[in-house]
């Protein structure tokens, strides 16, 4: 098991290395001058050159890539001074002359527009996006498994047909389109009755209390973001349950006189959850990435909204940091799912 986990970890590192290369190449061939975007169109030549030097944009492309890798690497080569220590927060491994080889956290650089650390921007926005994605996944999982079981148990009845129609509708509607319709209908048309807003973040500002938790602003984004995985889980649960309910051991359990609920929830549902677990874990990472447009539509202060706004302003360090973080989440969750799948289902071979 440990060898299997280490091998998956090695694959994950290879994937992240590929993502780093693609991200650097992609954002260094895009049109636009970050220095001019930072200072404006009327900036003088001296100011532009100063900004390019500050962010290392005056170096050649190969040297920029080497410095980019050095910043991202957990072991880096840097000048050993107070300014560098405050920037990288490193632990010295080898010191010589005025330089040091040090152990550190990956450094995602600073925003061109705000001059703030990208890691700080991520730490402020990722928790909000995580809450949104986790709540949407919980909503989709609980309702999806329930509807899938009901559809399978009541096969070819009006319940089954209604659930299938709902699932097809959820699969057919793109998130950005569903978000606009949901925001308009529940936030505008029915706003006086639902009390829900068309836009709003997890925390809102109260002139007397300061920042207050506003859970009602989660409702519409969660409904929008969870609609598609809900439809997937419904269909997957239904299909798997129908296959399990047709197995010989289920017929044997019925012949022994076991109750209907015991057969469905103790025997059938337990064995039907393996592919559902895989779908849930994979979709959670997808929801983190898929929240970009949903957050933008609902004005939700999360990683997606911050990334879209940074892209509009050619604030490439923020966009690159966001993409690398999402890629890391995908890799970690995939490794976790592979290991969990082996633990849950002993029939899976470790040499796969």
DSSP symbols for 19-83: HHHHHHHHHTTSSS-HHHHHH-TT--HHHHHHHHHHTTTTS-HHHHHHHHHHHHSSEEEEE-SHH
Is 264 within a domain?
Answer: yes
Range of the domain at 200: 118-344
Is 338 within a domain?
Answer: yes
In this structure, are strands 203-206 and 91-96 parallel, antiparallel, or unpaired?
A: unpaired
Is 37 within a domain?
Answer: no
Is 251 within a domain?
Answer: yes
Is 94 within a domain?
Answer: no
Q: Say if CB 119 and CB 318 are below 8 A apart.
A: no
pLDDT, residue 123, reads 92
pLDDT, residue 45, reads 79
189: CB partners within 8 A, 6+ apart: none
Is 25 within a domain?
Answer: no
Q: What would the two tokens of residue 341 be?
A: 């799948």
Q: Say if CB 324 and CB 268 are below 8 A apart.
A: no
pLDDT, residue 223, reads 92
Residue 59: CB atoms within 10 Å? 14
pLDDT per residue, tens digit, the chain (352 aa), is 677 778 888 888 899 999 999 999 888 776 666 777 677 667 777 877 887 787 887 888 888 899 899 999 888 888 888 888 888 888 888 887 788 888 988 889 888 888 889 999 999 999 999 999 889 989 999 999 999 989 988 888 999 999 999 988 888 887 778 888 998 899 888 888 888 888 888 887 777 777 788 888 899 999 999 998 899 899 988 888 888 888 777 777 777 777 777 777 776 777 777 777 777 777 777 787 778 888 888 988 889 888 888 888 878 899 999 999 988 988 888 888 777 766 665 555 555 5
Taking the alpha carbons of 237, 241, 243, 249 in that order, is the dihedral positive or negative? Answer: positive
pLDDT, residue 93, reads 86
Residue 226: CB atoms within 10 Å? 27
* CATH number, residue 245: 1.10.3720.10
SS3 content of the chain, % helix, strand, coil (to 5): 70, 5, 20
Is 163 within a domain?
Answer: yes
pLDDT, residue 46, reads 81
Query: What is the reported pTM?
Result: 0.82
Cα-based distances in Å from 279 to 11, 82, 274? 21, 48, 9
In this structure, are strands 99-103 and 75-79 parallel, antiparallel, or unpaired?
A: antiparallel
Residue 114: is it exposed, middle or buried by C-beta count within 10 angstroms (0-12/13-18/19+)?
A: middle
Residue 104: CB atoms within 10 Å? 18
Is 109 within a domain?
Answer: no
Q: How many domains does the chain have?
A: 1
């Amino acid at each position: 098991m440990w060898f299997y986990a280490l091998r998956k970890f090695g694959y994950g590192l290879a994937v992240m290395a590929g993502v780093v290369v693609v991200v650097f190449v992609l954002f260094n061939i895009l049109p636009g001058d970050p220095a001019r975007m930072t200072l404006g169109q009327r900036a003088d030549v001296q100011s532009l050159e100063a900004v390019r030097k500050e962010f290392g944009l005056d170096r050649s492309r190969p040297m920029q890539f080497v410095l980019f890798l050095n910043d991202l690497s957990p072991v880096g080569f840097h000048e050993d001074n107070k300014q560098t220590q405050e920037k990288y927060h490193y632990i010295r491994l080898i010191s010589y002359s005025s330089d040091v080889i040090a152990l550190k956290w990956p450094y995602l650089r600073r925003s061109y527009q705000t001059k703030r650390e990208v890691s700080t921007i991520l730490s402020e926005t990722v928790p909000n996006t995580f809450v949104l994605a986790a709540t949407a996944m919980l909503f989709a999982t609980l309702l999806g498994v329930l509807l899938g079981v009901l559809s399978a148990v009541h096969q070819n009845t009006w319940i089954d047909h209604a659930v299938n129609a709902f699932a097809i509708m959820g699969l057919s509607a793109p998130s950005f389109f569903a978000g606009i319709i949901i925001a308009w209908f529940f936030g505008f048309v029915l706003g006086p009755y639902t009390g829900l807003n068309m836009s709003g973040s997890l925390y809102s500002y109260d002139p007397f209390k300061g920042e207050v938790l506003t859970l009602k602003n989660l409702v519409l984004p969660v409904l929008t973001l969870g609609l598609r995985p809900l439809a997937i889980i419904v269909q997957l649960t239904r299909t798997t349950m129908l296959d399990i309910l047709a197995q010989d051991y289920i017929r044997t359990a019925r012949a022994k006189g076991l109750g209907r609920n015991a057969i469905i929830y103790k025997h059938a549902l337990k064995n039907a959850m393996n592919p559902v677990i895989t779908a849930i874990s994979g979709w959670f990472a997808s929801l983190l990435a898929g929240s970009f447009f949903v957050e933008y539509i609902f004005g939700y202060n999360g990683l997606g909204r911050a990334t879209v706004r940074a892209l509009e302003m050619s604030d490439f360090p923020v966009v690159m940091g966001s993409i690398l973080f999402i890629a890391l989440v995908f890799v970690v969750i995939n490794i976790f799912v592979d290991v969990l799948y082996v633990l849950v289902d002993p029939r899976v071979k470790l040499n796969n």
